[in-house]
């Protein structure tokens, strides 16, 4: 379990880093739509892969210590908030694939706000 905790810790920071880099890149490349679409696709894929992996490792950790998690509602709340961030990120990804480029920055920023709120609950 210490290996999973360490993996979850590093994936958390990877998600935050990829989300911030993706959002900054989209904001800075608004003038070049071709570059914007290409960069958003790559960063969006990397961001979602890191987010999904961190979420999956977190769910495995939660299930491994289920007996103690029932007595600790903070862990369950953290898991629920992270699940909401994953669902939102995937919903925004589908919307951007359908051509709604105005949501590209939201693809990174909206889940990041939820993720940071979740980390304030359980660091």
pLDDT digits (tens, 9 = 90+) for 25-54: 777 776 776 666 666 777 888 889 999 999
Residue 1's closest CA among 68, 79, 60?
60
Confidence (pLDDT) at 14: 92
Confidence (pLDDT) at 69: 54
Tell me phi and psi for residue 98, to 5 degrees. Answer: -85, 5
Residues of the chain with pLDDT below 50 are: none
Residue 37's closest CA among 97, 82, 107?
97
Whole-model pTM above 0.75? yes
Q: Is 122 left (phi over 0), alpha (psi -120 to 50) or beta?
A: beta
Distance of CA 25 to the CA centre of its chain: 17
Confidence (pLDDT) at 19: 86
């Amino acid at each position: 379990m210490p290996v999973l905790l360490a993996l979850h810790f590093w994936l958390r920071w990877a998600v935050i880093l990829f989300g911030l880099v993706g959002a900054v890149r989209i904001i800075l490349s608004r003038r070049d739509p071709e570059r914007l679409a290409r960069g958003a696709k790559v960063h969006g894929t990397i961001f979602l892969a890191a987010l999904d992996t961190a979420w999956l490792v977190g769910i495995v950790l939660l299930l491994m210590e289920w007996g103690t998690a029932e007595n600790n509602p903070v862990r369950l709340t953290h898991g629920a908030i992270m699940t909401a961030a994953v669902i939102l990120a995937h919903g925004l990804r589908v919307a951007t694939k359908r051509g709604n480029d105005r949501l590209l920055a939201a693809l990174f920023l909206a889940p990041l706000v939820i993720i940071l709120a979740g980390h304030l609950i359980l660091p």
